[in-house]
Amino acid sequence: MLFNSYTFIFFFLPVTFVIYFYLNKKRLTEASKAFLVLSSLFFYSWWNIVYLPLILISILFNYSLGREFSKHSQKKRNYSPKVLLSIGIVFNLALLGYFKYADFFIENFNFISTSEVSLLHLALPLAISFYTFQQIAYLVDSYRGETHEYDFLNYTVFVTFFPQLIAGPIVHHSEMMPQFAQLKNKVLQYHNIAAGIFIFVIGLFKKVVIADSFAIWATQGFDFERSLTMLEGWMTSFSYTFQLYFDFSGYTDMAIGAALLFNIRLPINFDSPYKATDIQDFWRRWHITLSRFLKEYIYIPLGGNRKSEIQTYSNLFITFLLGGIWHGAGWTFVVWGALHGLALVIHRAWKKLGLHMPTLLAWFITFNFINIAWVFFRATSFDSAIKVLHAMFSMDGDLFSKSKQFPHMLHYTHPLSEYVSINMVNYMFILLLIGFVLSLYAKNAHILRDRFMQMKQIPFFWAIAIGILFGISLIVIASNPSSEFLYFNF
Amino acid sequence: MNKKSFIFIVLGIAFLVFSILPISNYITDPSRILHHDYKMRYLKFHPHKLFLKVEYLLDNKEKYDTLVYGSSRGGFIDVSRISKGAYNMSHGFGTVTTYLHSLKVLLENGVKVENVWIGINDFDIWKDHTDNLHRLINKNSIIGNAPMYSYWLFRLIPESIKILTEKRELIETQEVTYPMERIPRARKQEHIVKKQSKRQIPAATLGYTGKFRVKEAVEEVAQIKKLCEAYHINLTVFMYPIYYKTYLSYDQEKIEKFKRELVKVTGFYDFYDLGDISLDQKNWFEGSHFIPSIGDYMIKSIQDNKYFVTTKNIDKRIEETRLLVKNMPFLEDGGIYTLDKHTDAKLENKKIIFDIKDQKFTFIKNEDFNLKYKRSYVEAVVTRNDPLIILNKTKSSTKQSLLSLSIASTQETFFQLYYKESESAQYSEASRYNILLTKGINHMNIIIPSRYINQGLRVDIARKLGVYKIEQLRLYEID
């Protein structure tokens, strides 16, 4: 079920909300939790019920292993905790590897060995990358003795809680479990509901109005990368850069908003990432919960910056290479991860040298690096990425060529074209300008949320504005009812 | 304002803004479904004929004795030649699924009918309407009607916006109350078509994907038959004729299978073959719709019991249709068109002018893929986006050539031909012929004017990276 669907907004969310708090009001707290789990599994199965057993097996396995660790700490068992942890991590990675990377490995094996092993053509189970990471973190912390005695229901709510289940934020048990246990969170709290609606509407608007508008140019640009002029190449890459940000941060805002309705605070995942003035700063602002996971469970166990400088560079590079591979099974993701790893290494070396750069120049370099690296992230093949980059940097075409074919084609794919006649190039210029202004100058959603939550009295204008944004978003959904979120693919 | 008030004001305003959508859809109602209005329509916008025809019949339960179901092709049949009380139930992309559903609604709601004719299309076995039935009326249940109303109310309908912005007005129409009104106009058009003897009419493949629902379609006909028996209705089943290029582009084995299964359920009149109707361009408005005099001929033939197929003569009928295919020359109309693999038999003794498996034929190949020669096939390992070959040495001395193609693909992609009108011209997107490759083996034949071969045909193997097994990529000279 998509957050940006009528089914979710008009049926699933209100029904789950009402029944959950009704059960809590009747002091049936365990029943309310069980109901939340069932609702979340229903939400998950809406796409394809075939994946349901997989997530249930994964939960059961990881929970049982976590319990073994806690028994071990009480000296009830004689298993080696390291062996148990290794089994756990291998199980999780094997599950992920089988579904996500099997064909990638077979293709490359066939290519190198000229053999003809058939591809498996497995469909990627929804959310597998997210719930696998979440549970690996749980296992590692259980091994370290940092988890408490959680019961099965609590653990299942932690993994399956529908706002964060599909595409994060990647939550940590230590920040979620206590919230589900707190009694005050089982009571209707209007200030949380108001803030939840506020942030949910901002996220919905970001997704259905802004991101989906950029998607039209980005999709067409990458599909027709062979015929792009320089201008179209840049517009294509910028469009994707903004599409990805508004899509993913919009999704996260909706997740945070939906969770707040249930008095649960999810961690922030974005902090105006395109304002970053260096690559390290970017990763502190972009997909923050993934960066946190990579740091705590890959970079630090590898040695972090505790060893030699060379070793630190190597750890940084490996961490981001793995981060790239986590996003998808393809060489483009490997290249994307490697580029970011390399950029972090260069940034660290630059800092070590004590060199400085004017802020504006630093922002310009950082933003353009991110923009160019996204081309690899988005392209369906390495060759396709090169073609877009070639268009962006080629001096053999006209910069402002009146390339008729591409805007003409775009015109017919744009939903608005059915209602009004639009000049696609001018339209995209305006849209990109809005994208830059919003991502560089506007306050981001979590700042607005915090400000909103601190207010005792809300200005009337805010209610009018949010109501209108909500209404407009609902109308726009009608024009594109099946627009999926980009991070569902990862 | 406190936060509780904020919640109610936000939701209230959102509701008000959002309600613009269903209200404007209801007011404009381009399909006329929401107003149940079959007497008015907007210019340039098609009302939903099936829905409105059902509504009309529900309001006139005893007016007609015969219902003639069909797709838009059936719109060119003058049903008054069947009976004075015949009503033309044709509707765009009508299939046995929509016939069954609407007939059920009509009969269950007391509409009196003595005869039902159903016209079956080739696309009945691949167009699946079952997911769209919620858009149609379900008179027996309020809950059953909810999906229909929600579909028409909660969508951004481009026509609604145009009606509002361009201030279009409703005009009176007879297309539901008297569907025969179009026949005189169509007969006038027919005279014009007959004078245009050298038109280039492309095949109308109508969403053909190579995925079939033979069993389901036959089961739906069986249900129609059962329904007719239960209400003591005479059922007449026929298959529409088809334009030859459209016919040739389909997998006729599947159509044959459908006919064999259908005949077990009911006998039917079979106009679907490569006979005179199919081959004569003058009989066709375009690649899908025949002219009214063909409709007249069909009615007369059915009344004279010609072309009737039963379990006793189905084998003979299939043999006849196969023979028609076998004996049909490769007609020339100046363009490229696709034939299904059933035309393979006609290639015996034809001169081969290119074969990718035979290394004596040379060509230009780019670096985006590798060719590995195996015993019975050639493997194309595509590592970049534009795997192409140019047949620069291949020449044809006949007017037309035929490319016989068989490629096994693991994914959906496009096989493309780029052609040039002159040697100095560039290959361009405007001079391109696309062929959809689906997962599995894609086997077909493609007719190509030889002037394209002689200017150097460019063949793009696929649009996606991967390994493709080329079992055949061979060019023949044909007469």
Element (H, E) at B309: strand B308-309
Question: How high is the pLDDT of residue A183?
Answer: 83
Amino acid at A253: D
Question: How high is the pLDDT of residue A487?
Answer: 55
Question: How high is the pLDDT of residue A326?
Answer: 83
Confidence of residue A73 (pLDDT cuts 50, 70, 90): low
Q: Is A108 on the interface with B (CB under 8 A)?
A: no
List chain B pLDDT tens, one digit each, 479 residues: 888 899 999 999 999 999 999 999 999 999 898 888 999 999 888 888 999 999 999 999 999 999 999 999 999 999 999 999 999 999 988 999 999 999 999 999 999 999 999 999 988 888 888 777 777 766 667 777 888 888 889 888 888 888 888 878 889 999 899 988 888 888 888 888 777 766 778 777 776 766 788 999 999 999 999 999 999 999 999 999 999 888 888 888 889 999 999 999 999 999 999 888 998 888 999 888 999 999 999 999 999 999 999 999 999 999 998 888 878 777 777 788 888 777 777 788 889 999 999 888 989 998 888 888 887 889 998 877 789 999 989 999 998 999 999 999 888 889 999 998 887 888 887 788 888 888 888 888 899 999 999 999 999 999 888 889 999 999 999 87
Q: Is A205 on the interface with B (CB under 8 A)?
A: no
Burial of B138 (0-12, 13-18, 19+ CB in 10 A): middle
How far apart (Å, rounded) are the C-alpha atoms in residues B107 and B53? Answer: 14
Q: Residues B172, A430: contact at Cβ < 8 Å?
A: no
Q: How would you label A277-302 residue by residue, b for 16+ Cβ within 10 Å and e otherwise? A: bbbbbbbebbbbbbbbbbeebbbeeb
Residues of A in contact with B381 (CB under 8 A): 111
Residues of B in contact with A419 (CB under 8 A): 158, 161-162, 165
Name residues whose C-beta falls within 8 Å of residue B453's C-beta, 6 or more positions apart in sequence: B353, B391, B394, B395, B396, B401, B475
Confidence of residue A393 (pLDDT cuts 50, 70, 90): confident
* Beta-bridge partner residues of B446: B338, B403
When pLDDT is averaged across residues A312-328 and rounded to a whole number, the result is 89
Number of cross-chain residue pairs from A and B with Cβ atoms under 8 Å apart: 113
pLDDT of A396 above 80: no
Q: Is B4 in Cβ contact with A190 (below 8 Å)?
A: yes
pTM of the model: 0.76
Q: Is B410 in Cβ contact with A111 (below 8 Å)?
A: no
For chain A, what percent of residues have pLDDT higher than 90?
Answer: 34
Question: How high is the pLDDT of residue A464?
Answer: 94
How far apart (Å, rounded) are the C-alpha atoms in residues A208 and A474? Answer: 9
Query: How many helices (H) and strands (E) are present in chain A, helices listed first?
Result: 24, 0
DSSP state of A25: H
Question: How high is the pLDDT of residue B224?
Answer: 97
How far apart (Å, rounded) are the C-alpha atoms in residues B236 and B120? Answer: 11
Choose the closest CB to A194 out of B7, B20, B165: B7
Residue B406, φ and ψ in degrees, nearest 5 = -145, 110
Say if residue B202 is preceded by a cis peptide, omega within 30 of 0: no
Name residues whose C-beta falls within 8 Å of residue B392's C-beta, 6 or more positions apart in sequence: B363, B364, B456
How far away is chain A from the Cα of B424, in angstroms, using its nearest Cα?
Answer: 21
How far apart (Å, rounded) are the C-alpha atoms in residues B11 and B3? Answer: 12
pLDDT of A193 above 70: yes
How far away is chain B from the Cα of A348, in angstroms, using its nearest Cα?
Answer: 35
Name residues whose C-beta falls within 8 Å of residue B41's C-beta, 6 or more positions apart in sequence: B32, B47, B170, B171, B173, B175
Choose the closest CB to A383 out of B6, B372, B384: B384
Q: Is B3 in Cβ contact with A193 (below 8 Å)?
A: yes
pLDDT of A398 above 60: no
Q: Is B14 in Cβ contact with A478 (below 8 Å)?
A: no
Q: Is A463 in Cβ contact with B1 (below 8 Å)?
A: yes
Q: What is the DSSP string of B208-238?
A: --S---HHHHHHHHHHHHHHHHHTT-EEEEE
Burial of A361 (0-12, 13-18, 19+ CB in 10 A): exposed
Q: How would you label B406-419 residue by residue, b for 16+ Cβ within 10 Å and e otherwise? A: bbbbbeebebbbbb
Most confident by average pLDDT, A104-118, A236-250, A438-452, B360-374: A236-250
Catalytic residue among A327, A340, A414, A446: A327
How far apart (Å, rounded) are the C-alpha atoms in residues A63 and A67? Answer: 6
Edge-to-edge order in the sheet of strand B413-418:
B364-365, B388-391, B457-460, B413-418, B432-437
Question: How high is the pLDDT of residue A470?
Answer: 95
Element (H, E) at A263: none
Radius of gyration of chain A (CA): 24
How far away is chain B from the Cα of A471, in angstroms, using its nearest Cα?
Answer: 4
Choose the closest CB to B2 out of A121, A201, A457: A457
SS3 B466: strand
Based on the residue annotation, tell me whether A327 is a catalytic residue of this protein: yes
Q: Which of residues 346-385 of A touch B (CB under 8 A)?
A: 380-381, 383-384
Instruction: Tell me the pairing of strands B234-239 and B440-449.
Output: unpaired
Average pLDDT across chain A, whole number:
84
Most confident by average pLDDT, A358-362, A434-438, B221-225, B288-292: B221-225
Question: How high is the pLDDT of residue B300?
Answer: 95
When pLDDT is averaged across residues A334-358 and rounded to a whole number, the result is 91
Cβ count within 10 A of residue A183 = 8
Per the structure block, which two tokens stand in for A126? Answer: 């929804």
Radius of gyration of chain B (CA): 26
How far apart (Å, rounded) are the C-alpha atoms in residues A359 and A365? Answer: 10
* Beta-bridge partner residues of B388: B460
Q: Is B7 in Cβ contact with A418 (below 8 Å)?
A: no
Confidence of residue A146 (pLDDT cuts 50, 70, 90): confident
Per the structure block, which two tokens stand in for B65? Answer: 């004795």
Q: Which residue does chain B place closest to A416, by CA atoms? A: B158
SS3 B418: strand
Q: Is B168 on the interface with A (CB under 8 A)?
A: no
How far apart (Å, rounded) are the C-alpha atoms in residues A483 and B437? Answer: 26
Q: Is A121 on the interface with B (CB under 8 A)?
A: yes
Quote the ipTM score.
Answer: 0.82
Q: Is B368 in Cβ contact with A383 (below 8 Å)?
A: yes
